[in-house]
Structure 1
C-alpha cells in the first residue's frame, strides 16, 4: 500500500480505477472530482488527505466511490418527446427494412443501460407499435453496462411504483406484473433483451446494429477519447443504422464521423453508408489548402504535398507541378536528369513550369475517359470534380490506379481561371480491396462472436430461469399429480429391480452382467462361488477380479461378443492351486444385438476332476 499522505487526487483516482480494472482517463477529471466531492460530503470529510486516509482504513469506500462514479439516473421513457420522435420517425423505418429481410431481424444496442429502464422502454415501444405482430420479428436488444450490480437489477426486471412515475397506467397494466408494491416486466418483453457487462472504452463493439442508444454516456468520458468512441459507435451500425445520443451531450460535427443529423434537439443521427461517406470524405481540404497558399508556396510544409499535383490555366497550359507529377506524367523517360527539378523543389513544393507544356499533349489526358471535358466543367462551373479508380499506364508500362480531384482555384482576376489537378496513387488499395472486403466480413463476425460470447451464455441462463419460473407457475395440484405418478413409477421400478435380482439370484447357474467395457454390472452368488471371486467386484473388469482362476479367456471371448454382437458358447477348463481341475460350460450373449450395450454370461459347472 502506497503512502497516501503525499498523494494527489490523480493518485487516488488511479488507485480506485486500477482496483476495478479501468483506465483513469476513461472519465474526465472534472467529472471525477465532482463525484469524489459528493462522497466526501456524504461522509462529512472536508479534506482530501483525510478522505484518502479514510479510504486506506475503510476499503469498502472504494466500492462506494466507484458506484458513485459510474452510477447515473435511469428512468422509464426519459424525455417523452424524444421517445415520440423515435417511435414516429425511426422505428417505422427499421421495421420496414426488417420487413424486406427474410429473417425479419432487428438488432438494437442500449449502452449504459444501468438498471434496465431504457432497454425495457424500447422493447415496450416496439410492442406498442407491433401489437400482435411482435412475435413475427426476430428482435434482439443488447443492453450493456459496466456495473454488474446494476445489471443484476436489470435482469430481475422488478421495480417499485416510484420508479414507474413516468409510465402511463395502460403500459403498467399491459407490460408489468404486479406483486404488491412491486412491478415486474412481463416475460413477453423480458425475452427481447440480452443483458451483458461491457466496457465501451476497451471492449469491442457489437455490430450490424439498427438502432444504437448511447444517451448521456459520452459526457462521462474524457474529451480526448470521444472521437475514437464515436467512430466505434458508427462502426457498430449497419448501413441503415441510427445513433441516439443524449440531449446533454456536447455538440459533435456529425459530418466528420459519417453521420447525418435527423433531430439536433434529441441528438438523433443516421449513418451515412460507406459508399456515400466515401464520396464525401474523399473531398479533402487539400484543394482549399492550395487556394489559400498557392501564392505563398515558400511557407508550405513539403510533407503536405505527397500527391501528384498539376496546375492548369483555362487553355490547358501547365502553369506548375510538383516533383511527383513530373516523374509520373511529364518526364519523357527515366533517363531525364531530375537534378534541376530536385534543386527547385527544395525551395518550393510546387515549382513553376519553365517551358510551355500543354496538358493536352500528355498521355494522361487521353487515357482518362472524358478527362478534358471534366476539367472544362470544373473551370466553367467552378465546381469540384472527382474521378474514382481511373486507370493510367505509366511511361514504364505499369498500370496505375488513380483517385483524381479537379479543384477550381479562385484568383483576384475572375478572367484568370485556374484548376489544380490532384492525383493520388491508389493501386495498392485497389488491389487489396476485394480481399479486404472478405476479411472485413470475417473480422466483423469474429468480433461480434467475441463481444457476444458472454451475453449468449447469460441469455441462455436467463431463458432457463424463465422456463423454470414458468413451470413453477403451473397449477400446484397438477404438479402434485405428476409428482405422485413419478413416485409410483419409481416404486414400481424398485419392485421390478428386486424381482429381477431375485430371479438372477434364484437361477442355479452363475450369472454375470457386464457393460460394453467388460466391467461387472451384476453378478449372483453362484457365479462368485464357482469362480472363487473375492473382494470388491462392481465396476471392475473381468481381468481385475481377485480370483485364483485365470479369467483372461472369458474376458477375450466376452470382448469379442460385445464387439461383433454375436453370441458365443465354449468350455472353460482350469486348474486350481490344490491340483483340482474345474470345467465350466459358458454361454455369452450380447445385450441388444443391434447396438451392443454389454453382455450376459451364463456359467454352468460341469463337474470336478481331481
Structure 2
C-alpha cells in the first residue's frame, strides 16, 4: 500500500470508528500491513476497493476496528512512571487504605496488552512495598480488547527483549529463565486477573485506588470517546486515587477533578470533592 493511499484511507475510516488520525501517524505502517492482508483475504484489488466493500458490508467495520488495535509495550516501560509509583504514589495510596480500614489495594490496568504492565506492577509491589504493608492485600485487574493478547498474558512467558528495562535484580527474583525467554513466577502472577474487555463498551465495577490507562484512550480515541472513557474511569476511581496516562498524553480539554501528582507528567490525583459529572 502506498503511504499516500494509506493516509487517505485512514483519515477517512478512523473517524467512523471514533478513533483519531494523529494517534496512528507513527504506527500507520503497522496498520497498513494488516489492511493489505485483509484486502487479499477478501480478494479485492486494493484499499480503494476495500473502501467500497466497507460501504456495502457494514459488518466489516468490526474487522477493520480489530486491525487498528495497537499493542506496543514491555516490562517497566517508562521507568520514571514506575519509580514515581514505587517512591510516592503507591505508598500514599496504601497508607490511606490502611487508615481507612480497607483490606486491599485495588488496581486496574486498561489496555494491558500481553500483561507486561500489570506484571511489572505486581513485581514492584511485592519486592518494594509489600514488606511495609504486610497486612494489606494487593489486587490488579488487567483488561484488553484483544483475546490473543490476554491469552499471552495469562501464559506469562516473554522473550528477553521484553525485559530489557526491568531492573536485573527484579528479573532474577520474579521470573524464571526458559529455553526461549522468561516466565513470571506463580507468586507474582497471583495478584493479577486478566479479562477480555473493551473499555469502549463496558468496564469493571471497581472501585479502584489506582488506574493505569497508558497509550490507549488518550492516544487513539477521538475526543468524544476520550470523554466517555474518562467518565468511566472517574466513576471507578476512589477519591484521592491515582490515574496514570502516558507522559505524552493529556486529558480532554476542560476535564476537571484531577490534579497533577508531584512533578511527574502523566500521573494525576482525583479530587476528594469531585462531584458526579464534574469532569466533563
- Does structure 1 retain, via aligned residues, the 8 Å contact 2:240–2:269? yes
Partner of 2:274: 277
Q: Which of 1 and 2 has higher RCO (CA within 8 Å, sep 6+)?
A: 2
Do residues 82 (structure 1) and 90 (structure 2) align? no
CA distance in 1 between counterparts of 2:21 and 2:253 reads: 24
Decide whether aligned partners of structure 1 residues 52 and 115 sit closer, same or farther in structure 2, where only a CA change above 3 A counts: same
Q: Tell me if the contact between 1:241 and 1:270 (Cα under 8 Å) persists in the aligned partners.
A: yes
Q: Is the 8 A contact 2:248 2:266 kept in 1?
A: no
| Separation (CA, whole Å) in 2 of partners of 1:205 and 1:131 | 25
In the alignment, structure 1 residue 237 sits paired with structure 2 residue 232: no
- For the residue of structure 2 that corresponds to 1:136, the secondary structure is coil
* Corresponding residue SS for 1:225: helix
Q: TM-score, normalised by structure 1?
A: 0.38
Unaligned 5+ runs, structure 1 = 1-7, 15-22, 56-60, 282-610
Find the counterpart in structure 2 of residue 250 from structure 1. 250
Distance, in Å, in 2 between the alignment partners of 1:42 and 1:100 is 55
Deviation of residue 146 (structure 1)?
0.6
- The separation in 1 between residues aligned to 2:225 and 2:64, in whole angstroms, is 23
Could you say which residue in structure 2 is the equivalent of 1:107? 106
Aligned length: 255
Instruction: After TM superposition, list the pairs within 5 Å mapping 1:72-471 onto structure 2.
Output: 72-132=71-131, 136-218=135-217, 219-250=219-250, 252-253=252-253, 256-263=255-262, 265-273=264-272, 276-277=273-274
Does the 8 Å contact 1:126/1:134 carry over to 2?
A: no
Question: Among 32, 35, 39, which residue is 1:37 paired with?
Answer: 32
Shift of 1:116: 0.2
Residue in structure 2 matching 1:27, options 8, 11, 19: 19
Q: Is the 8 A contact 2:250 2:266 kept in 1?
A: no
Deviation at 1:277, TM superposition (A): 3.4
Instruction: String of CA shifts for 1:418-452, please: whole Å, max 9, x gaps.
Output: xxxxxxxxxxxxxxxxxxxxxxxxxxxxxxxxxxx
Q: Is the 8 A contact 2:158 2:183 kept in 1?
A: yes
Offset of residue 168 of structure 1: 2.1
Matches of 1:85 and 1:133, distance apart in 2: 17
Output the CA distance in 1 between the equivalents of 2:226 and 2:61. Answer: 26
Q: Distance in 1 between matches of 2:155 and 2:61?
A: 26
Q: Residues 234 and 257 of structure 1 are in contact (CA less than 8 Å); yes or no, is this contact kept in structure 2?
A: no
Contact preservation (8 Å) 1:217, 1:246: no
Structure of higher CA gyration radius: 1
Separation in 2, partners of 1:230, 1:67 = 22
> CA separation of 1:167/1:234 partners in 2, compared to 1, >3 Å: closer, same or farther?
same
Do the aligned partners of residues 195 and 272 (structure 1) sit closer, same or farther apart at CA in structure 2, a change above 3 Å counting? same
Seen in structure 2, the aligned counterparts of structure 1 residues 225 and 66 have a Cα distance that, compared at 3 Å, is: closer
Give distance in 1, aligned partners of 2:47 and 2:138: 49
Q: Deviations over 1:555-586 (max 9, x none)?
A: xxxxxxxxxxxxxxxxxxxxxxxxxxxxxxxx
Displacement of 1:246 = 1.1
Contact 1:26/1:201 (8 A) holds in 2: no
Deviation at residue 136 of structure 1 after TM alignment: 3.1
1:30 is displaced (CA, Å) by: 5.7
Separation in structure 2 between the aligned mates of residue 207 and residue 266 of structure 1, nearest angstrom: 25
- How far off its partner does 1:25 sit? 3.0
The Cα shift of 1:64 comes to 8.4
- CA-CA distance at 1:113 after TM superposition: 0.3
Question: TM-score if structure 2 supplies the norm length?
Answer: 0.78
**RMSD (Å), alpha carbons:** 3.4
How much does 1:77 deviate?
0.7
Name whichever structure is richer in strand by fraction. Answer: 1
